[in-house]
Amino acid sequence: MGLFKGLISPIQKRILDHKMCPACTRSLDNQDNRQPITTEMEMVFCECGRAYVYSRLLRKYRRALPQEVQATTTRTVRFY
Ligand SMILES: [Zn+2]
């Protein structure tokens, strides 16, 4: 009970593995709204408003943590 609350579901993870936004199925590789976090990671904002972290090393996307979104959006206000 509550095990998956706040966590990404296995289905959503599979969609993400295909580099697609689980919420709107847009291709995340096609999203232009990207901000570097480190030399290896970048935050990618989907057109539907969700944020993801892309690892250049793993070539994979994951959901961005709320604190990561906040840290990025406070640096760059133009997204909201
Ligand atoms: Zn989306």
The tens-digit pLDDT sequence of the chain (80 residues) is: 445 556 678 899 999 999 999 999 999 999 999 999 999 999 999 999 999 999 999 999 999 999 999 888 776 555 44
**3: CA distance to ligand 1 center in Å?**
24
Residue pair 54/64 in contact by the 8 Å Cβ criterion:
no
**51: CA distance to ligand 1 center in Å?**
8
52: nearest Cα among 39, 40, 65: 65
**2: CA distance to ligand 1 center in Å?**
25
**15: CA distance to ligand 1 center in Å?**
11
**40: CA distance to ligand 1 center in Å?**
22
Residue 44: CB atoms within 10 A of its CB come to 22
Q: What is the pLDDT of residue 80?
A: 45
Vertex 63 angle, CA 58 and 68, to 5°: 95
